[in-house]
Amino acid sequence: MSDIDAALAAAASGMRAQTVRMRIAAENVANANSVGADPNQEPFRRRIPLLESTTLSGDVTGVRVRGAVSDATEFRREYNPSHPAADEEGYVRLPNVDMLVEMMDMRDATRAYEANLNMIEAARAMTTRALDLLRR
């Protein structure tokens, strides 16, 4: 495996990982208002993707998503006694999703994705230039 191929493999693994991260952030946003059906049922708990370095074939240091863990932050509480999920005091537990945090995470994932894409473009251009030697 040439170094340029290795660069492509690393960038591709980065793009994959950022896509998963983006998906998890989208799931969090989608479930920002998912509450339980009754007071005993927990509302949606925010998920956090875990990224880690991994060695791909050819000794390339890539990245992968090891999995996702639940955010242990406390749930938001809202006073709404008529809600079926309200407790005795009239409070409903809402998911611990913070839109601002999710948006920031998405921005970061997009930025990293684009950087990986640029890297692929650069590696491709370098190979093309090298192949040009054959043409002239």
Partner 1 sequence: MDLGAAPYFELLRERLDQLGQRQRLIAENIANASTPGYVPRDLDASAFQRALDAQGGVRLARTNAGHMAPGGAPTAQIVTRADSETTLDGNAVVLEEQTVRAAETRMQYETALALYQKGLQLLRMASRPPGR
Provide the binding-site residues for partner 1, judged by CB under 8 A: 2-4, 6-8, 10-11, 13-14, 17-18, 21, 51-53, 60-63, 108-109, 111-112, 115-116, 118-119, 122-123, 125-126, 129-130, 132-133, 136
User: In whole angstroms, how close is the CB of 64 to partner 1 at the nearest point?
Assistant: 9
Question: Which of 26, 28, 107 is CA-nearest to residue 70?
Answer: 28
Nearest approach in angstroms of CB 63 to partner 1 is 5
DSSP codes of every residue in 10-28: HHHHHHHHHHHHHHHHHHH
**Position of tokens 């006694």?**
81
Nearer to partner 1, 92 or 123 (CB): 123
CB 104 within 8 A of CB 56: no
